[in-house]
Amino acid sequence: MKVEGFNHITINVSNLSQSLAFYVDMLGMDLIHKGNYDAYLEWGKAWVCLQERSSYVESSQNQIGFDHVAFTINEINFHEAATYLIEQQVTITRGPTKRGGGWTINFLDPDGTVLELHSATLHDRMQVWE
């Protein structure tokens, strides 16, 4: 499996406006897109997704804080890597599927941390995001 580097992190937040003030104004991230319940920020070569988790989300998913970490993988290597994870009986939580402008697969590490292999860039994602 040929992982190329860090892609993005998704963070569940309780108040999107408050969190945007912190991440943009305090940490200097660039706001690329703001939706009703999410925002995409660019930070160097990586990106950060903030998603507001409130009463509209089922209580089992209503956790504030870290959601998952994604690693970049070239689309040419994606399917081989996904097959490898499946063959190694790694717990797959979503995918493999085409999503956000590229291919993605979410899986658990041995401690249950959600990881993702993602082939799209933030620019790719913004082209298909509504």
Domain ranges for the chain: 3-128
Q: Tell me the fold of 3-128.
A: 2,3-Dihydroxybiphenyl 1,2-Dioxygenase; domain 1 (3.10.180)
Has 75 been annotated as catalytic? no
Q: Name the active-site residue from 42, 75, 80, 116.
A: 116
Tens of pLDDT, residues 61-78: 557 788 888 888 999 999
Question: In which region does residue 13 sit, left (phi positive, over 0), alpha (psi from -120 to 50) or beta (all else)?
Answer: beta
Average pLDDT over residues 87-99: 93
**Token pair 């941390």 in the structure block, residue:** 113
**Token pair 């209503």 in the structure block, residue:** 62
Antiparallel, parallel or unpaired: β 38-43 and 46-52: antiparallel
pTM for this predicted structure: 0.71
Whole-angstrom distance, CA of residue 71 vs CA of residue 93: 16
Antiparallel, parallel or unpaired: β 30-34 and 65-73: unpaired
In 3-state terms, what secondary structure has residue 104? strand
